[in-house]
Amino acid sequence: MKPHKKCFPCKFSLKFFFIVQFLFFIFNSPLKAQIIASFSLTDDGVKVEFSYPVSLDGIRVPLNESLLWGQGKIGRSFIAMSKHDSEIGVWDGYSPYIHSKLFEDSCSEINIIPLLSDDGVASGTNKWIFEGEPAEKRKIEKAINFFAENILKRQNENKCFSCHEIIPLGILCTSANDFGYKIPLPILMEICKSIVSFQTEDGSFSFNSSWKYDKTAASLAGSAFLAWNCRWNEKLRGSLFKAARYLVSQQNSDGHLETEFSFPPLFWGSIFSTWLGWEVFSLAERYYFGFTMTELNEFQRPRILAEKFVFEKIPPLFEKLDETSLSIPETGLVSEASRVRIISLCLSKLNDLSFPHDLPIIALLSKKVIRLGGSLRKQDFSSFEFLENPDFFVENLWITLLQVIQKTQPQR
């Protein structure tokens, strides 16, 4: 094995290589949304520039890459260099690739410098593999992990599961999961276990050490969070069914649910509380009965009553651009006329709101617009980060939800 000597293919071959590799990365890159913008020769090797910053976990370069090793050469080792890291990749003796574990949270370019090569021709693929994902995506995933860890910590310290925190966390995690983000499932399960530990025999939730709480509000928040997490953990369903049965016992004859105190906009009046109950009844019905028509379906009537109450109360308030009513997510099917009208009202209200003062409403309205197939005005929330400041913890939860929505949907 000899130290690598620079030997590059002819201009035609090099141009053909650029075209083939560019098309490959557009349609087959493991980064999916990420596209390699360009390759360029340097004095030492090859520079790869990404179209926007990526988080890298490694790089695999094919043995037969003539751009690096030259014609008639088989690669044996190289060094990959980014702004903050450099790693040597050495052939393992059997793979058609040379792998380098290059780690970088955010980079726009890397340099690949050939070190050793042998004479010969290697068979196999000539496709480069970049392991990782867009940097903004990983940044959001780390933020979600941060929120979940800190909420779990506060639950254990305060002996209270914090209604005003777990509701935005639940909405954020389900939305992030829907849009393809990784969510911290083990931590979410621990949060759910903590919530279940507060559950009493009648299915409600009691905080013996908390200085104040409302039984119905706590039960609505806790059962909603369990319901949202049942999609990836069926072990929670037993606790969800008990909680749903308790809420059925608290439901008024017209379908609404009342609470004694509020965390605007999360528990602001009977409409939002009833919507949470509707969510719980709907998901409990889905997981327990599968929306069957059996007479044993004990959650069907409560779900229908809650749905009827919300649908009867919301339309007049929509016309007045009532914030809480507008922000309630759409559940189930919506007619085309209603869809267009609701999107229009939401966008009109969004234009009247100010950031960050109206942050929760902005986040909920934005999610609703996207849920109904609308598009949002482009805004950049990336500079508003308060991860280390406990005074802005909940605000940053809502900001992260906005970032998830803004970065995964068409902008106008």
Of 132, 62, 140, nearest to 104 (Cα)? 132
Residue type (1 letter), 380? D
Residues across the chain? 412
| β-bridge partners, 297 | none
Calpha distance 244→242 (Å, rounded): 5
Residue 340 burial (10 A CB sphere; 0-12, 13-18, 19+): middle
Tell me the sheet residues that pair with 56.
104, 132
Q: Where are the domains of the chain?
A: 2-135, 137-408
Distances (CA, A) of 70 to 11, 108, 264, 365: 13, 26, 65, 56
Which alpha helices (DSSP H) does 230-322 contain, by range? 237-250, 269-289, 300-319
Say what the alpha-carbon torsion angle 273, 277, 278, 281 is, to the nearest 10 degrees: 180
Q: CA-to-CA distance for 324 and 321, rounded, in angstroms?
A: 9
The CATH code that applies to domain 137-408 is 1.50.10.20
Tokens at 80, concatenated: 């990959």
The three-state secondary structure class of 92 is coil
pLDDT tens, the chain, 412 aa long: 556 554 433 333 443 334 334 333 333 333 444 456 578 889 899 999 988 899 999 999 999 888 888 888 999 999 999 988 999 999 999 899 999 999 998 999 999 999 999 998 877 777 888 888 888 889 899 999 999 999 999 888 888 777 888 888 999 999 899 888 999 999 999 999 999 998 999 999 876 655 456 788 889 999 999 999 998 998 999 999 999 999 999 999 999 998 876 666 666 778 888 888 988 998 998 888 775 556 668 888 998 898 888 777 766 655 555 555 555 665 555 677 777 887 888 888 888 888 777 788 788 888 888 888 888 876 655 555 544 555 668 888 888 888 888 776 544 4
Place of tokens 């590059």: 8
Cβ neighbours of residue 1 closer than 8 Å, sequence gap 6 or more? 76, 116, 117, 118
- DSSP 8-class letter at 36: E
Pseudo-torsion of CA 272, 276, 277, 279, nearest 10°?
A: 130
Buried b (16+ CB within 10 A) or exposed e, 134-144: bbbbbbbbebb
Q: Are 257 and 273 in contact (CB under 8 A)?
A: yes
Give the type of residue at 125: T
Rg (CA), the chain: 27
Give the SS3 label for residue 341: helix
Is CATH 2.60.120 correct for 2-135?
yes
For residues 20 and 65, the answer to whether their CB atoms sit within 8 Å is no
CA distance 6 to 45: 8
Establish whether domains 2-135 and 137-408 are of one fold: no
Q: Could you identify the residue written with the tokens 């990420």?
A: 34
Q: Which two tokens stand for residue 86?
A: 């450099």
Q: How far apart (Å, rounded) are the C-alpha atoms in residues 275 and 47?
A: 54
